Each structure stands twice: as structure tokens, then as C-alpha cells.
Chains A and B, each alone.
Chain A
């Protein structure tokens, strides 16, 4: 089952914060976050595992609520380089299953 991402698109000014949500109707083992810039390959950001802690580096962090089967990606003090489409990929069951990606959230950061 494909996870649902929200919002579909967001426009930010440099320095503003954003939250991207990813929710599933099925129990999740892990959530993977990727960013894809136009015409480029998706780039791995982080993975959150069931029972794991909130992850993050620099100004991009994420949380995973297992009970609600939801994950949120937090971008703080956004930079122009954060522009791109963000995808969450979910893994169900006990893990080791193919990732199912959402349709993506297009983030545009403007000066």
C-alpha cells in the first residue's frame, strides 16, 4: 500500500521551516527518506526503524510514530539547496521487504 505524503508541494523562503508528513495504513518496520533534485537520482537522507530513536543531522531531522504509522521530516532554517522532491519509502512487516514510495512532496526554497 502506497504511503500518503503531505503536503504535495510547499514554497518556502530561505530560513523558514517545513514539515513533510508520510503516513501508511499498514504497520511499518521502517521509513526511509530521500530527496530528488530535478533530473537527478534520489539521494538517501535517513532511515528510521521501528523502536528506534529520532534521527537527524544538521538541520534535517525526522521522527517515526509506530502506533500511528506515520513519519515526519523536519527541515529547519531552510536553504536554497534544500529544494527538490522529498520521498518517503516505507517497509512493512518484519522488514526485508521492498520499499514502497509515496508520490513525493515538492519543496521549493526561494531567496
Chain B
């Protein structure tokens, strides 16, 4: 079992550019959540996808958007990048059983210059 995979591992962009991050959930999981983790902070919830629909959304601007595909993989898109978007972006997958918690991927480190 490959677990949760994310790509790319690192990314450097300049202000104003757009970025797409990708995530493949753990086998058997149908729900994908995205988190932003700033240095020295806990993960902050961006949104969650289930059955190709955005089910929940955190306090992030519309510049952050996502998508889930029929195979449950997901993308996170960020438009008009700001310096403050520099962070580790974590993808987490889960099944319908909340008791099993979420499985996190290794993350994508985004640096905005």
C-alpha cells in the first residue's frame, strides 16, 4: 500500500503565478482533505472533497480551489500567489470511518518569491 502520495515535493513560484498540487489518496479511501501548514504551526484546513464535490471549506479565499476526480485523486489550485502562501501543503485521505483518523501525505513545500 503506497499510502497518500503528493506531487511535486517542492515548488518555487513568483508572486502572481498559479500553482497546481496533486494528491492520490490511500487505497480504499474516498475522502480527501487539504491543509496548509505554516512553519511552526499546526495544519490549517482548506477544504475537503467527497464524491467529486467540495463538502466543507475552511477560511481560505476563493483563490484556493480544488477538484476531485472519479478515482478519488485530487488537485489543489492556488491563483494569484502571494508571499504569504508559502507553506507546506498537506493532503489527507480518509474513509467513511472517522475512528480511523486521517492519513496524511508527505506534503508539497511551496515557496513564493
Residues of chain A at the chain B interface (Cβ within 8 Å): 2, 30, 32, 34, 40-47, 49, 87, 89, 95, 97-104
Q: Are A98 and B48 in contact (CB under 8 A)?
A: yes
Complex contacts, A102 vs chain B, CB 8 Å: 42
Complex contacts, B78 vs chain A, CB 8 Å: none
Complex contacts, A104 vs chain B, CB 8 Å: 40-42
Task: Choose among B56, B99, B104, B106 the residue that contacts A98 (Cβ–Cβ < 8 A).
Answer: B56
Residues of chain B at the chain A interface (Cβ within 8 Å): 4, 33, 40-45, 48, 56, 58, 90, 98-107
Count: A-B pairs, CB below 8 Å:
52
| Nearest A residue (CB) for B90 | A41
Q: Which of A41, A45, A95 has the most CB of B within 10 A?
A: A41
Q: Are B43 and A87 in contact (CB under 8 A)?
A: yes
Q: Given the known A-B contacts A41-B105, A44-B103, A103-B42, are A95 and B56 also in contact in the complex, defined by CB atoms under 8 Å?
A: no
Q: Report the separation of the CA atoms of residues A42 and B58 in the bound assembly, to the nearest whole angstrom.
A: 19
- Shortest beta-carbon distance, B74 to chain A, in Å? 16
| Nearest B residue (CB) for A33 | B101
Complex contacts, A95 vs chain B, CB 8 Å: 98
Q: Given the known A-B contacts A41-B106, A87-B42, A99-B45, are A32 and B101 also in contact in the complex, defined by CB atoms under 8 Å?
A: yes
Q: Are A101 and B43 in contact (CB under 8 A)?
A: yes
Q: Which of A45, A46, A89, A103 has the most CB of B within 10 A?
A: A89
| Nearest A residue (CB) for B45 | A98
Complex contacts, A41 vs chain B, CB 8 Å: 4, 90, 104-107
Q: Are A44 and B101 in contact (CB under 8 A)?
A: yes
Q: Are A101 and B98 in contact (CB under 8 A)?
A: no
- Shortest beta-carbon distance, A1 to chain B, in Å? 12
Q: Report the separation of the CA atoms of residues A100 and B41 in the bound assembly, to the nearest whole angstrom.
A: 12
Complex contacts, B44 vs chain A, CB 8 Å: 101
